[in-house]
Amino acid sequence: MADFQFSIQPKVWLGSDSLLRLPLLIGELADEGRALLVADPLLHESKIIERVSGLLEDRGVKVLLFDEIPQKATTRAAEDALRLARGSKAPIIIALGGIKTMMIARTAAVLARERIDVDALVDGATTLGNSVPLVEIPTSIRHGFMCEDALFLVDARDRCVRLVRRAGMAPKAVLIDPNLSAGISSKSASTCILDGLMGAIEGYLSSKSSFLSDHVLEKSIEMLAHSLSTLIARPDDPGARAEAWKGSFLAALGQGMSAPGIGTAIALAINARHGVPKSSLAAILLPYSMEYGSKSRLEKVVRIDALFQGEAPDHSAAESASRAIEWLRTKLGLLRIPSRIKDFDISLDSLVEAARDARELDFVNYLPRTVSVDDVFDFVKTAY
């Protein structure tokens, strides 16, 4: 066996009231009692922004808030956050919200001490690697890129998704407090779980997977599947969301050691060009991604069936793979969410560019089989 090397970043705290560690982290990571809070404006409704700001201000930390993040945020929102980070000379940045908020805050943290702008970064310009410390507080029950030195943004110039990788892009710390997602509806929570499940399953099926990522991702798939079933049966069960957060953390850890797949790439590309929520697209694409994976990773899809069902399969390999995919489709039916891309009023012709964008994402090179743009578009057509 080839030599194996392993390291993990960032530091992660996961558990009820882990948010209370934030003032201590600020003291450890910053020399001054100031912080820039980049937050999803929708969190004003649940008073989460006010809670985080109050928690810091009560400990003597002055908070500067950036919450000008539109629903279809692009690099322009990242530029606005960057201007505020540079102008304020914030010694630390805190990200609070969903994935797009995490990515905007990462961009500001990476570039705050640099001389290049956001467009130059997504175009491939090099950086010095002197980032502002970043603490991420995700609230949407999944964050697949949590452990990766990467960020992705929607380029305002052409609405193409851009993935950038540089050493040091990952946050210094992540605080995962399941209480912060209590206000998310059960249906929205379920689609977020499906998004996390897609990252876990695609990482499991990836050609980049290893014995360690497989072990982590199997447990992630099991936990996410169980939490999804529980949430569908008992929408108000807080234990289901706590379990989902644990499964999502394992999914991010495993994905960081492996790579996401074709469904994730297409979801990012369509979200960028058409504004359809990534979690909704993940719910549609996941069964098709599993069908695609079963053609070259059948034994692993059989294992996924066992994880879904909670028991070893007593069927042929092909029957077990079909049963796993049917399990997913049954859950989608119970949730009554869109099952086809066309349900979002997007023409098939307009998805050609999204297929090209998806193929250009670097992690597509780790699919079980090599694909062309035409192959990706064929996949899109099956889900359309």
Q: Please state the domain extents for the chain.
A: 11-180, 184-383
Do the first three CATH levels of 11-180 and 184-383 match, i.e. the same topology?
no
| Distances from the Cα of 16 to the Cα of 25, 175, 337, angstroms | 17, 10, 30
Residue 102 near residue 136, CB atoms below 8 Å: yes
pLDDT at 342: 96
- Share of the chain residues as helix, strand and coil, in percent rounded to the nearest 5: 55, 10, 35
SS3 11: strand
pTM for the complete prediction? 0.95
Cα(56)–Cα(203) distance, rounded to whole angstroms? 37
Sign of CA dihedral 239, 240, 246, 249: negative
Per-position DSSP letters for 81-121, written without gaps between them: HHHHHHHHT-S-EEEEESHHHHHHHHHHHHHTTSSS-HHHH
Along the 384 residues of the chain, how does pLDDT read in single tens digits?
456 666 778 999 999 999 999 999 999 998 888 999 999 999 999 999 999 999 999 999 999 999 999 999 999 999 999 999 999 999 999 999 999 999 999 999 999 999 999 999 999 999 888 899 999 999 999 999 999 999 999 999 999 999 999 988 999 999 999 999 988 999 999 999 999 999 999 999 999 999 999 999 999 999 999 999 999 999 989 899 999 999 999 999 999 999 999 999 999 999 999 999 999 999 999 999 999 999 999 999 999 999 998 877 677 899 999 999 999 999 999 999 999 999 999 999 999 999 999 999 999 999 999 999 999 999 999 999
**What are 9's two structure tokens?**
């970043």
Integer CA distances (angstroms), 48 to 19, 41, 97, in order: 11, 10, 9
CATH 3.40.50.1970 fits 11-180, yes or no: yes
List Cα–Cα distances, 93 to 4, 318, 359, in angstroms: 34, 49, 32
Both tokens of 191, joined, read: 């689609």
The pLDDT value recorded for residue 4 is 63
Give 18-50 as a 3 state SS string.
HHHHHHHHHHHHCCCCEEEEEECHHHHCCCHHH
Q: What is the pLDDT of residue 1?
A: 42
Q: What is the homologous superfamily of the domain 184-383 according to CATH?
A: Dehydroquinate synthase-like - alpha domain (1.20.1090.10)
pLDDT score of 310 = 83
